Structure 1
Amino acid sequence: MYNQERKQGDVSGRLCVIIFRDMPLENNDKIKNTDMEKSIFPILVVNNSNLKPYIELFSYQPENISQQPLGSLVGFFEIRDYSEDSAYVVNFLNSVVKKEYYLNPKRSVQDSFDAALHKVNLALSELAKHGNINWLGKIDSAICVIEKNSIHFSVTGKAKILLNRNTVLTDVTEDLAPDSPDPHPLKTFTNVSSGRLEKGDKLIITSEDLFHILSLSDLKKNVARFDKDKFIQFIKTALTNELDMAGTLIVDIDEPEKKTVRKEPIKQKEETATISVFSETAFSKKKKWTAPLVEAKPETEDPEQEKEYVDKKTGHIYIQGDNEEKEDSGALQEQAQMVKEVMYNSMFATKDFFKKQAFSAWKKTKKTLSSAASYNYAGKFSSLKDGLGKKYRGRKKPDAPEMIPEESLENIIEQYEKEFQPSPRKNVSKISKLGIPVKKSVSEGIANLKPLVGKIPELLPNGHTLEKLRTVLPDASKANRLFAGFTPKQKISTVSIILALIILPLFFSKIDFKKKEAASIDTIPTTESPDQNEEKYLNERNIAFVEQVEKISSLSGVIGSFPLESDLYAVTDRTVTLIKENETKEFTWLEEYGSGRITAYMKDLNLIFILTDREKVVSFSPVSLDFKDNSIVIPQGAQISQASTYLTYLYLLDKKNNQIYRYPRAEGGFGEKTDWVKKPLDASSVSDMAIDDNVFLADKTGLRKLFRGEIVDFTMENSTTPVNFNKVHTDITAEGIYVMDIGNSRIIKFDKEGKLLKQYHNESVSDATGFSINETDKKAYIITSDEINAMNIQ
């Protein structure tokens, strides 16, 4: 064992790195070079919901390939002060340590871990400066990094990390936490220990609460007695039943499972394959039990067993070999079932439609026949006769023999009716079986038509007779005889075809086959069409005309707004106003600080900075709700027009001297500035500044990108209407770059490469003096001279 001293950033005190080697290591190069599998099981118990803000476990994994070398970040924060001021500290520290550790994947694991601990110490120091000191000496925490086969960790307070190796349970954090009667925020995490992990190791990362119910000897006994899953369940049950609040993480280290590719089963190798899946003992017992019943049973089970294996870790049975085919088959069966259901539904709907249409047609026919029976044919035909008489006046009348007497006409109709009327034995019963109501409608309809038919000869100026009329009409008797000779199936088919020919055209005429346009995020619908002032933007790509905005506040003179979680903080020249859904709180700083001119938010420390007209920088903490004066030295005669932050640095733009000053965070405020711009820069027309990993300067004509103090090539995609880059918003966590074009009443979203993604148009933007973005809630907060409005940017 050896010690090594080194300084960590500007932390006052000593950071001691301890490498523990008192556990025997296996000199197996193969094991050393193989990355062990780490199973992490967090156990959080909060039986009293009021205590939930005061403890938090975390287990973070790399989010992309570049972060893979940094490994896993696990641990917990617990505060034993349950005041309102301490309720935010745990969540705040959790976000700080994660963000800083994975911030720069190019750093080594040790450097990233040191930076994360330093950032936590610095964040706690800022809380203390703002009067939030109730947590001092009452914070328990363990932070661990597990990468490859190594672990790095640091603890504070009464947190413990126990290592079980070869049935020996050891406290590897003994004397690691700082033990000072006067705790200092910057010395919360001071010592780091590192070591190698081996196969079969178990880590227990826990708070002091676990030892209130289990002694170290009890833990040793239960670790040896229980397997992995049962031990986890044992700890969880014990904590849940005995404590109101506790947190423990259990990490099991094992060799990675060897993944073997199974080949298709071969008959000659069935017995060998079975033994590789199930143990020989298990199989032999099964064979012994089944042998008296069926001698060849194992041979019939081998093909199925070859397709399965039991996961040694989880105990689940997995199917191999044909599982993909079965899944595909299942998908096909599911689709076939869906098609069947659609067909059944269509057939039922068609049947119901035909039934309704047939009934409707019958009612119309019955109504027509009834109307025909009561129609005044005599008067109509008399009028027609008089009209025809006038037309043919002076002409020679037709000879009398061509007129058919009324008695003869009736005889002809009666004979025709007999030929047309179907035989009751052959037709009426068949039609009734089809469910079609049949009365004496045919004969009644013909009887009602007799007066009309009697007048037909009078309407034929050329003297056409009924015989000529019958040559035009179809021979109903032949159709009737043909239909009577059909089999029942043929009759049903014939009726169905006739109905289909009549009804299907009506059915399809009611269906709208026009394809509806799919909804697109590029065309957000509005309830009204764009007015004449917006017509010039209709040719723009990916533009949404937002119908209305929501009024959030009637504050006037707002110089900046910051959406933090579900709240909005608005800064004026003398106050910071907290705007919630149902309430508004106003906080005023001392008059001696001066009037606020410029404001910026530092996310890493959760602080709002206000630069006043007296060259002072005032900070406001959303946690403690207090103001603090921060020491800073601004060059005499400088004209600071913009401010922004990056990590714990404050950037100020001096448009007079065309320079950007970078101030590091230091005790009581900010340290000595650095001239960040390396090459000549015209900053006189800069209207806004935003920073992620680069500095973006906006003016009316464009957006300039600077990296390491120099302007780099950067092109923003053009829109049809030229963009005015009045204001810009982005940060290290933002998805894109947001530009406010006040002249064209729109906010435009670009990606970090300059590609135009979306445009949001609303007339309220034309009166804006600034804006901020909440990507979580998809809202843009538009600041005007007398109010703040929220606009949806989905």
Structure 2
Amino acid sequence: MYMETKRLTTRIGKLLSGTRKPDEGFATIFVYEPKDYLEKQHGKIYFVIEITSGSKSTSSVGEVIINSIKDEYYSDLNRSVILSFESALRKVNEELSDFASAGETDWIGKLNVACVILAEDKLHLSKVGTTEAYIVRGEKITHISEGLSVEEEKEKGNHPLKTFSTITSGSVQEEDKIIVSSSELFYHISLAGIKKIVSENTPSDSISKLKDLLKNEEGIGSIGFLIIENLTEDALSNTNEHTTDEIWIEESKPSKSFLAILSSILISIATFFKSSFQIIKSKVIPATISFGKKIKTKIVKTKEEPLENFDDEKDMKEQKEYLTQTDKEPIETDKKEKQPKNNETFINFVINYFKNFSFEKFFKDVQRVFGNIKNAIKEKSKSIYFKLFAVFAILFVISIFFLVRNNNIEKNNNTAKLKLDSAIEKENKAEFAIITGARKEARNLLDESKIMTEDLTKTKYSKEAHDLLAKINLAYQRVDGITKTNTVLIQEIEQNINPNAFTILNNNIYYIDSKNNQLISFDIDAKKQKKYDFPTPQKPFSKIIAIPKNNTILMYSDEPEIFEFNEKNGKISEATSKNGFNKAFDLANYQLNLYILSKEDNQIYRYTKSASGFSSASNFITDKSINIKDAVSLTIPSNTGFVYVLQKNGTIIKLTKSKKQDFTIKDMPFSFKNPVKIQSNNDGTKLYVLDKELGIINIDANGKYTETFKFKDIKNIKDFYIDNKTGTIYVLSGNKILSLEK
């Protein structure tokens, strides 16, 4: 039966910088994805070219490389892909040699090019210079251009005929992402950071995130960065993204100068008054004349013309003629009166008026204007144009006030927008620092971003500020390695039992019902509970541990006594020691041997297990300088034998063969508050500390802080247990045993 192979296609992202000066060269990306059916079978060609020469012929060199390879590669489609590629490289070398022979040699030694051929599921690559290529497959990144061209170029002396001389080939798979980039990008963002971004995002989102990280970087040279993602045609059709996306990193624009801002304000004022005059001319004046007509009052009258002989029609006609005249010609004034040559008088008036602006002054000016109008009416010596002038003056003052106010608002909004952009930039840089493990740098950036953002919560950008604050708070959790997780209820214990500790053996949970003098087991899978009676009434038990090697449970009471439960026969018996057991603050086991932590004696007692019971106690600590009087818990990984003692201040003492070893907790972003228990996995690669206020804190074998588990739905944790078989974390909270949700 024939099974059709999935055909792969691509979607790409291109990131380029436009910051380098023309005389310093350029970087470009060229993609050729043929439309012709036969050419499609021969594959696609991708170029990333950087030439660090400022020669006028530089662009011509790029064109020669692209056109020579492309034309020759597709010239004979009967050849195999690799033969076509080899022929294309020979052709471009010849063209470059001819170019150099013509005297154009400035590009030699300054050429950085990678040419990629993708045909079916094969990739072929040739490069010259410092341009690099990588392939990201899942969480792994491979340097596929490593070792190509650099050493060979030194040996050949950069001879044009040997510019392209090596091809590397390999297979590609669905979801592979190929990165081809000029070297400049790696000076600003680490390879680990690039890999993280590319592996977790589409090409379009990847170049967008990279641009955000680079946009305010200083001294960026030519960047040509190409991502090619392989995916099936079906997968591509299910996405809403373009198959090709291109983003440019532009130089930051200089802020406007004071003169530019002032010019903008004056233009706005002029535009406002121009429109205001048009409104007065077209609406206010006719409305005022109409009002005059209705009340039959002649505003402009002479001694020779009595009021009762006022001719409405004639007066309207005269006013219209006058208005028509004023539209065409300026009103004549006293020629001796000095006229301003430009707008300086107007500007000076605005500046002086609003220099010491107050509402009290403003209303006094308005009152004075209306007073003048009133006097003018009383004297009956002013025309309608005086009223219009007064209205216009009021509009003028009010408009100036609002223009200045609006300009201040706009200025404040612009300042807020700049601050928001800066806060976003710092948060983006913090995210990148988190990716690369620079926790301290990330925290400092988040602190700066948070302070800036909090100032914006009462501005126009309030919503954006609150959204950014939420993002910053989540980033703080990642900086601190905090994982907030839900829990799954395993068992709800009867209310009258109220255990303080539990352990797990062979997928069975064990805890003690001191009130009823019973050991209780609960099968996690079957959800079934069993009860086992102690042979005689006992004092309350404070500690319980599992010994997987012989399938037993040890239980300690404050007598001090230790009882042993055998899981195979379901019987509880009292454990014996030649000289009895010391008072214990905590218990641990290594293989079959029992270790008791005694704070009062500043000692760890070791009891060796034998067929007849436990031996008498032997002192594990022989160095008197070791102080464990503040100890709260101990643990011993079954595969290493190291003893870890947790102190009440959160420090951990590491002991081996009774000697103290160097062990310091590193990179922990906060201090312990109430540490109560320590446990390790079997191989000792992970230590877990229960802090009742902080959660369960994970530290590796070298003391490096890893993460903290916080629980969304529980608070008071009494005890916890790490199941070494499954890696599951179980916790006892109140009367519930829960597991962390995976």
TM-score (norm 1): 0.34
TM-score (norm 2): 0.36
Q: Highest CA radius of gyration, 1 or 2?
A: 1
